[in-house]
Structure 1
Amino acid sequence: MADQTPKNRPLTEEELQDLVASSDAGARDPAGGVGTLLAVVAVVWSLFQVLLASPLANYVFPGDVINNSRQIHLAFAVFLAFMAYPAFKSSPRAYIPMADWFLGLVGAFIAMYGFVFYQKIVDAGGLADDMDKWFALAGLLILFEGARRALGPAMAIIATIFLGYVFFGSSELVPDVIRWKGASLKKAMSHMWITSEGVFGIALGVSTKFVFLFVLFGALLDKAGAGNYFIKMAFGALGHLKGGPAKAAVVGSAATGLISGSSIANVVTTGTFTIPLMKRVGFSSEKAGAVEVASSVNGQIMPPVMGAAAFLMVEYVGISYVEVITHAFLPATISYIALVYIVHLEAVKNNMPTLGNRVVSMGKTIGGMMAFFIGFAALCYGVQFPVGWVAAAAGDAAGLVMAVLIFGGYAALLYLASTVPDLEPDDPNAAEVELPVVGEIYKSGLYFLLPIVVLVYFLMIEQKSPGLSAFWATMLLFVILLTQRPLKSIFRGENETVNAFKQGVGDLIQGLIDGARNMIGIGLATATAGVIVGTVTLTGVGQVMADLVEFLSGGNLILMLVMVGLLSLILGMGLPTTANYIVVSSLMAGVVVELGAQSGLIVPLIAVHLFVFYFGIMADVTPPVGLASFAAAAVSGGDAIKTGFVAFFYSLRTVALPFVFIFNTDLLLIDVTWAQGILVFVTASIAILVFTAGTMGWFLTKSRIYESIALILVAFVLFRPDFVMDRIQPPFQQVEPAMFATALGNATTGDEIRLVVSGPDFDTGETKETTLVLPVSEGSADERLAASGLLLIEEDGLAKMDEPAFGSPFSDSLSSFDFYGDDPVQIASVNAPADQMPKELVFIPALIFLFFIAFLQRARMSREGVPA
């Protein structure tokens, strides 16, 4: 083809695998005894993490091993980083130079320093002495070099800049606005390496406790054959539709995203099959690559795994894992719905042909897929009832009985799979493309759903910790990998049981190796990001950043959100998603919440973290560095920069959604009932489809400019009905501050009163404002005021405030005010609830207007003789 010039030719399968390896798992793979040794180390690391997450951990490991598991985790990651990642492109790949052996071994030892010298550090009260500081400095330098190899130079450079700020922040060369007193080498190294504030902080703890098990779970599930099964099923269901390969790419990548935390691996895994087929039906190389990029990158926002971010949010936001994925579910789902619609519109606009000779209606396809997902969700939810019956009947033996029942169910599904041929990867370049028939192939992999059901059951129903949930799901995968081949052989009456078992052992070992190698970059990313987080906690630069952003944005919340998004995109050009999320959320999440409160908008912390995360994943798309776009271009033979720009255009809904859910937290299912949640899902789905139609310039037919603008406005109204209703009928009425107690007494239980508090800043002395949301509890006005913890002093007609008691509801929110200065802290304004019609009424005129646009386009189609 014309675009497959020598410069832009598609890479071979071997070159693609090398691309993924060099990005995710390391490009070096030595043979012989050294290769075996490294494989053993990787397997040991995986097994160590599995045992650490197991209920037997306290019996298998001494207490000091469990307490210092972060150090052991980092030791494995640092050692394998120097073994797997060459220092430079010209460095040898077939063997490991002595310098890398030295750095790997020394780095691993220093990572274990807190474990080896645990008693010495405890006796010193956790403070570094002269020997500690030099070991810590050497450890940081080796860590930065490992991060440079595994993650690229940006991570190491940014961490070095932050570390330099710790030492030289008092220099006159540093601008006054961010200058601080500086720290000694001993204090800095103690903070960064000896305590749990820096390298061994929350991020590395999450990597140790949770992330490894989920990455391993994905690697084992893929090794078992689930990835190929999901892709085949997606193509069987969608491949025959107009633009079918692109639609299958979206659904297949969403499913693969559940088991792969890497957008690059997702692009190459699904893209090697989907991209050639997309080109075959008329997509250009760049558009085919862009569809794969957009769908693969979005795999990271899809619950329940979401890369490592979901587990970090649990720690940073302080809510349960179930709450995190509940809040993340709706935006991720409608984002994928929009992407399917985007590729549908591309196919319709260009009148693309269909693949294969099967004719199946779109309605039946959508109905079948909805039935599957509803059925799967019902299965995950409904399994609790038979489990409860077994637990009641079997008592202490319930665990054993459940294990037998699960294995029985697995054996039954495996027997079903043995009645059909095993799925083999198809050749997308074959002369005749035979699309899989779902009715014929679905039996071959139904048992792959069992570990996912187990995972979701423990996470959502039992609400066990993510680590323990992943442990039980991983244990089931161990069983599947070891037994699926030999049991199929027995069921089919073949005499290959022993060889099949050996193959199963090989699959399990390779899955353990893959899981460990895939974790090297994440382990180093979370450890290096700990230096940045440690700098924030040591220097207090977070508050300085708040002041700087407030100054640059002029206090405008939307402008500030744009700046945060741009910061995420810029940092993400060189940082992996997880590291980017840690850095930006550590610096900016609190700033957004604080400035939002000053603007009168109460922004939930989870909304800000999801906002940062969404823009972090966009960096994998955005030119000039978007790695996923380069990987897709390597598969398609297209231009990488152009692929990135098209992918960014396809991902506009991923850029728009964070701004929407910051201002309309209903999209995050915060404080909504079941009925409201269903309505939000329906209207948000319609809104994202209308927004997509507006930005693509095509609804029922090619849209005129004014129609596209009208569609985007309709989408805005459906997303933000409160914006319109608040202008028709304000939700609050202003009350004089002196009348606050009266307004509090008159309010209905369950209402919210908003107070704007004004007063001098504790640090600067300048007057500032913040907004408090006061839930109205039961009782009299005095009882409600006492429950709030606010201490009012009515003086000179003003509602002055005294410092609230420590631990009271608003003590943290008001801690930055100076209650003992010359100027008082006072209530500047009070907004009491006012009667307002339901904001959902706004949907009616918006939908009528949408039907009017559809009527105009259909009339134009009739006049122009365009078929419907």
Structure 2
Amino acid sequence: MAGKASELGNSDSAAKNINREYVGKAALAVSVFAVIWSLFQLYSAASGTFDAISLRAWHIIFLLTMAFLLYPAWKKKERSTRKYPAVLDVLLILLTVVSFGYLLINYSNIALRGGYLLPQDYIFGAIGILVIFEAARRVVGNLAVLALVFLLYNFFGNMAPGDFGHSGFSINRVIDHMFWGSQGIFGIAIGVSATFVFLFILFGAFLRISGFSKFINDLALTIAGRSPGGPAKVAVLASSLMGMINGSALANVATTGTITIPMMKDNGYRARFAAAVEAVASTGGQFAPPIMGAAGFVMAEYLGVPYTTVLVAAFIPAFLYYLTLILVVHFEAKRLGLKGISKENIPAVKEVLKKQGHLSLPLIILIALLFMGYTPLYAAVFSIIAAVVASWFRKETRMGVKEIWQALEEGAKSAVGVGVACAVIGIIIGTVSLTGLGLAFGYSIMEYTNESLLLAGILVMLMSIVLGMGVPGVAAYVIVATVAAPVLVNLGVEPIAAHMFVLIYACLSNVTPPVALASYVAAGIADEDQNRVSLTAVKLALTGFILPFFFIFEPALLLDETQLGVSIMPAVTATIGAASLASGLQGWLLTRTSIVERVLLIGAGFCMIAPGFWLDGLGLAIIIIILGWQFIRRKNKQDVLKKERMFV
């Protein structure tokens, strides 16, 4: 059973980046280890028996062991399957257990002697740092290089010019801070990996294996399948929901994209457009409530606010992002004259809800528990249990021992990429806190921009996109929240607006050239040029690129659960603006638009999204005039066609 579960687990979407599979007893051993890890994480979250450092140390031991087992040292030389781990991998696993096991045994004693470290403490600390770098090199190569640059900055910062220079730190001081302190490897990044991130990835695995993804796809078909361009709308709905749960644009494109992209192409959409739609839809799930790919839970920790505050604040940005995307695919379908899916190929909504509706109960329970004030960890554990129980309601979806085993294994393997990224990010965060690099960034930007919020926002946007490139969503947010968000806060931006600003841009790095990984994966599925897909994706995600600038000036665009009335009008006008923007981008409203109309509609969209009574009035006036003119043109065209038919 376990061996079979291993094979199934290795074939799932989240494991597609894993380059090594095992056969025989090794496959069984890896499968058992993965399941034990998942059970440990569930137990620790449910019982609360571990202190923060102990939980994070155990998490790292499991995490790095899985990383060395699943990711080969040299991918090009590695065979596709193995009967046993490589000697180097076994050695690295032993070093991991020894170094972090040493910390588990001695951490309390070191704390009792006031943090004074002995020579062997530094040695084991150095080993721990090295094995983390090796795991990061294998799993998230680019991020490992970035972390190495930050680590070297600790030693050679005295050579940096101006505000970025410092006196330099000794090796012992760096090891002390990075390994034995609470602001380095064992800081907030690995903390969220050991709690929120792992549990919600595991929750996503249980949902997928119970059949939830099929339910979402069928439900999306019933909602939007028959409308013009139905397959693209189905892709948007399904990808947004699944991306919200798994928190990985890359994994989401690799799974849903294999179904939705060919479906869109068959319906008549261009390959470039179909790939871009899937990439953009999958990317937005990382900041879409209620789960936000677990990034929202991290944001709540940073800000010290209830998660519901973050959830409510993210609603308008996510709604406008997906509204624009839905309207873009609708207008494109109208422009191309595309139809929806035929009725016989769409399941009946009553049948879908009757046969699969019970699978939505875990998600409903999760949302309810969060709004009732329960902690995200409690809500996640309870929802995982609910996913199993809900699956038992019907024979077709029932999860037995085999499926539960598979979900536990898949969840652990899927957590490796994000977890290793969070571990090595501890080096980046530790460097920022030790050297004061974050303050130096902030002072430099404020000095360069003369404290102009607009210019500072542009620089922070670029910084967030660059730092987020090639990094999992949660890990990307942790980086930019540490380095970039404080710049905006120091300029007077509301903390939640500043953090939402950097989160959205870090996520959008998935579709932003030159490292648009989600776009590149989608392009491969669509058999289309990567750069063309990336540029199209940036166009489709335009609302996501412009909206954050407006809500740092007008926080009312981020819903406040205590002042919902204040946000109603900005939300309404921004919704109209998003529709106008989508119309201008695709060249269709009631009928085909001229170049002048497209420019005016895009301009009106900007005016309506931007806060301000006069801008709203100007944008609305432009939209009404164009609507009236389009209505007259369409009516005249219909009259001409009617006369022609009568003549014939």
- Displacement of 1:711 after TM fit? 2.2
Measure, in 2, the Cα distance between the counterparts of 1:544 and 1:231: 48
Q: What residue in structure 2 maps to residue 790 of structure 1? A: none
Letter in 2 for 1:719: I
Alpha-carbon distance, 1:712 to partner: 3.0
Match of 1:665 among 555, 570, 580: 555
What's the offset of the Cα at 1:292? 0.9
TM-score, normalized by length of structure 1? 0.69
Task: Note the alpha carbon deviations across 1:673-713, whole angstroms, 9 max, x for none.
Answer: 34444444332221211122223333223333332333233
- Structure 2: unaligned runs, 5 residues or longer: 1-7, 643-648
1:191 equivalenced with 2:177 (yes/no): yes
Quote the offset at 1:22 in angstroms: 4.0
Residue 182 in 1 paired to residue 168 in 2?
yes
CA deviations 1:77-104 (Å, max 9, x no partner) are 1110010111222223312211012112
Indicate yes or no: 2:308 matched with 1:322.
yes
Q: Which amino acid aligns with 1:21?
A: A
Alignment partners' CA distance in 2, 1:459 and 1:154: 35
2:113 paired residue among 105, 124, 128: 124
5 Å matches for 1:16-415?
Answer: 21-23=15-17, 26-54=18-46, 56-58=47-49, 67-90=53-76, 91-95=78-82, 96-151=85-140, 153-171=141-159, 174-356=160-342, 358=343
1:495-550 deviation line (CA, Å, top 9, x unaligned): xxxxx98x711100010011111111121111211111111111111121112212
Q: 1:323 to 1:663 in 2, by over 3 A?
A: same
Match of 2:4 in 1: none
CA distance, structure 2, for counterparts of residue 637 and residue 715 of structure 1:
33
Q: Is the 8 A contact 1:569 1:615 kept in 2?
A: yes
Compute the RMSD of aligned alpha carbons.
2.3
Contact conserved, 1:144 with 1:156, CA < 8 A, in 2? Answer: yes
Map of 2:646 onto structure 1: none
| Shift of residue 437, structure 1, vs aligned partner | 2.1
- Counterparts of 1:47 and 1:721 in 2: how far apart (Å)? 49
Contact 2:363 2:383 in 1 (8 A): yes
- In structure 2, distance between residues paired with 1:199 and 1:520: 16
Report the residue type matching 2:312 in the other structure.
Answer: T
Contact 1:129 1:186 in 2 (8 A): no
Give CA deviations for 1:762-783 in whole Å, capped at 9, x if unaligned.
xxxxxxxxxxxxxxxxxxxxxx
State the secondary structure of the residue aligned to 1:649.
helix
Counterpart of 2:456 in structure 1 is: 560
The corresponding residue for 1:488 is 395
The alignment partner of 2:81 has SS state of coil
Aligned match of 1:538: 434
**CA–CA separation in structure 1 for the residues paired with 2:641 and 2:406:** 54
Quick check: 101-110 or 585-594, which moved more? Answer: 101-110
> Hey, what does 1:826 align to over in structure 2?
none
Say which of 342, 356, 360 aligns to 1:445: 356
Counterpart Cα distance in 1 of 2:327 and 2:402: 41
In the TM superposition, residue 223 of structure 1 has moved relative to its aligned partner by 0.7
Is residue 397 of structure 2 the alignment partner of residue 479 of structure 1? no
Q: Aligned equivalents of 1:687 and 1:335: distance in 2?
A: 11
Distance 1:106 1:92, change over 3 A: farther
Cα offsets for 1:291-335 (capped at 9, x unmatched): 111111111111121123112111212211111111111110121
Q: Equivalent residue for 1:607?
A: 497
Structure 1 residue runs of 5 or longer lacking an equivalent are: 1-13, 359-432, 490-499, 598-602, 726-841
Contact residue 468 and residue 480 of structure 2 kept, 8 A: no
Identity %, equivalent residues: 36
Cα gap change, 1:17/1:565 in structure 2, threshold over 3 Å: closer, same or farther? farther
Secondary structure in structure 1 of the residue aligned to 2:528: coil
Letter in 2 for 1:296: S
> Are the equivalent residues in 2 in contact too, given 1:207–1:308 (CA < 8 A)?
no
Higher share of residues assigned helix: 2
* Amino acid across the alignment from 1:663: F
Distance 1:89 1:70 in 2: 28
Residue identity matched to 2:225:
G
> Structure 1: how far apart are the matches of 2:641 and 2:21?
57
**Structure 2 match to 1:819:** none
Q: Which amino acid aligns with 1:467?
A: L
Match of 2:512 among 622, 625, 645: 622
1: distance between equivalents of 2:641 and 2:107?
A: 76
Match for 2:596 among 692, 702, 706? Answer: 706
Alpha-carbon shift at residue 844 of structure 1 (Å): 5.1
Q: What does the per-residue CA deviation read over 1:434-474, in whole Å, with 9 as the maximum and x for residues that have no partner? A: 2222232221111112111211111012x111001111111
User: 1:816 maps to what in 2?
Assistant: none
Q: 1:351 to 1:17 in 2, by over 3 A?
A: farther
- Residue 422 of structure 2 aligns with which residue? 526
Amino acid aligned to 2:369? F
Query: Aligned residue for 1:574?
Result: 470
Measured in 2, the distance between the counterparts of 1:190 and 1:280 equals 58
CA distance, structure 2, for counterparts of residue 314 and residue 673 of structure 1: 19
| Deviation at residue 252 of structure 1 after TM alignment | 1.0
Aligned-partner Cα distance in 2 for 1:553–1:17: 50
CA distance in 2, matches of 1:145, 1:608: 33
Q: Please say if residues 718 and 846 of structure 1, whose CA atoms lie closer than 8 Å, have aligned partners that are also in contact.
A: yes
Query: How many residue pairs are counted as aligned between the two chains?
Result: 630
Report the 3-state secondary structure (helix = DSSP H, G, I; strand = E; otherwise coil) of the residue aligned with 2:263. Answer: helix
More contact order relative to length (CA 8 Å, sep ≥ 6) = 2
Q: Residue 256 of structure 1: CA displacement?
A: 1.4
Partner-residue secondary structure (3-state), 1:621: coil
The answer on whether the counterparts of 1:75 and 1:109 sit within 8 Å (CA) in structure 2 is: no
CA distance in 2, matches of 1:290, 1:843: 30
Matches within 5 A, 1:682-721: 682-721=572-611
Change (3 A) 1:560 1:67: closer
Task: Choose the corresponding residue for 1:457, options 362, 368, 379.
Answer: 368
Q: CA deviation at 1:158?
A: 0.9
Task: Say whether the 8 Å CA contact 2:328–2:585 is kept in structure 1.
Answer: no
Deviations 1:792-818 (Å, cap 9, x if unpaired)?
A: xxxxxxxxxxxxxxxxxxxxxxxxxxx
Residue 159 of structure 1 aligns with an amino acid whose one-letter code is A
TM-score normalised by the chain length of structure 2: 0.92
**Conserved 8 A contact 1:128-1:189:** no
SS in 2 for 1:700: coil
What is the aligned partner in structure 2 of residue 857 from structure 1?
Answer: 630
Superimposed CA distance per residue, residues 267-313 of structure 1 (whole angstroms, 9 cap, x where no aligned partner) = 13222221112111211111111111111111111112112311211
Which AA in structure 2 matches 1:488? K
Deviation at 1:638, TM superposition (A): 1.9
Larger mean Cα displacement after TM superposition, 68-77 or 255-264: 255-264
Match of 1:590 in 2: 486
Q: Per-residue deviation at 1:480?
A: 4.0
Amino acid paired to 1:711: L
Structure having the higher Rg: 1
Measure the CA separation in 2 of the matches of 1:556 and 1:706.
33
1:843 Cα offset (Å):
4.4
Aligned partner of residue 345 in structure 2, secondary structure:
coil
Helix, strand or coil: the match of 1:308? Answer: helix
Given that 2:229 and 2:338 are in contact with CA atoms closer than 8 Å, whether structure 1 keeps it comes out as yes
Q: 1:727-752 deviations in whole A, cap 9, x for unaligned? A: xxxxxxxxxxxxxxxxxxxxxxxxxx
Shift in Å, 1:70: 0.7
Runs of 4+ aligned structure 1 residues displaced above 6 Å come to none
Partner deviation per Cα, 1:560-613 (whole Å, 9 max, x = no partner): 21111112222233322222222222112111121x23xxxxx11111111111
Deviation, 1:847, is 2.7
Q: How far apart, in 1, do the equivalents of 2:90 and 2:641 lie? A: 68
Residues 259 and 671 of structure 1, relative CA distance in 2, 3 Å threshold = closer
Q: Contact (CA 8 Å) 1:83, 1:100: kept in 2 or not?
A: yes
Match of 2:645 in 1: none
